[in-house]
Structure 1
Amino acid sequence: MPEFEPIPEGDEKLAKVVLDAAFRVHTKLGPGLLESVYEQCLCHELLQARILFQSQLMLPIQYDQIVIDAGLRLDLLVGERTVVELKAVESVLPIHKAQLFTYLKLTKCRLGLLLNFNVPQFKHGFTRVVC
């Protein structure tokens, strides 16, 4: 089994800040809203915490010698090192995790968070992924 380098402590702390912010959003709003609502509120929380991030970041695909705009859009890139994918779905499916893995590969980031806000308790709504 291959051994991975540990995630840098600063990245772990940043992921915790994101999760804490997501918990606050879920506590205030609860489940049942559109993903875009949760995204805007999470962005507000990150701005309040003075965390650098990019939202709705276009991800081009490099194929041979060409760049393809395939319409891939990353929900949040936090601190240029952590990919955050938001959902508001009944249940997280394998395709959602595959999407996050694809975004990690394309951004060359190692740490990703899959946040599903459509759960009664947010502790059951997040998945941490390391590549």
Structure 2
Amino acid sequence: MTEDKISNIVIGCAIEVHKNLGPGLLESAYQECLFYELKKNNLEVEKEKALPIIYKEVKLDHGYRLDLLVENKVVIELKTVEALNDVHTAQVLTYLKLGGYKLGLLFNFHSTLLKNNMRRFVM
């Protein structure tokens, strides 16, 4: 399945979660519900996937953790903040670079309308 097809399914699932829960919950609640929806759509999903940092010949296991990784292709980062900013963008771009992934999605569930608070990143 292509990254574009996966992202369309993910966006639909995220909207479904937000439609049912609305804003105001913790990030972990949205993560669990989105994980459930993605699994229900027969997608392979990993939660809190470790992303080590490789520095020269040294592998540092104290790297990052991806909120969700779908089909080992699409990185999903979830936020519940007043507004997305450059730090959130940098975080997703770093994950894409370190993991060698091509597509990342950033969702801010702390919003009235989720479609206005999601970003798509392509490497």
TM-score (norm: length of structure 2)? 0.96
Aligned with residue 27 of structure 1, among 19, 23, 28:
19
Q: Distance in 2 between matches of 1:102 and 1:70?
A: 15
Give the CA deviation at 1:70. 2.5
Residue 74 (structure 1) aligned with residue 62 (structure 2): no
Q: Mind listing any 5+ residue stretches in structure 1 that lack a counterpart?
A: 1-8
Q: Mind listing any 5+ residue stretches in structure 2 that lack a counterpart?
A: none
Partner of 1:45: 37
Aligned with residue 62 of structure 1, among 37, 51, 54:
54
Structure 1: 4+ residue segments shifted above 3 A: none
Aligned with residue 3 of structure 2, among 8, 11, 35:
11
Give the CA deviation at 1:71. 4.0
2:88 maps to a residue whose letter is H
Aligned residues: 123
* CA root-mean-square deviation: 1.0
Give the CA deviation at 1:69. 2.1
Instruction: Using the aligned pairs only, state the percent identity.
Output: 43
Query: Which string of whole-angstrom CA distances, capped at 9 and with x for unpartnered residues, describes residues 62-84 of structure 1?
Result: 11111112341111111111111
TM-score (norm: length of structure 1)? 0.91
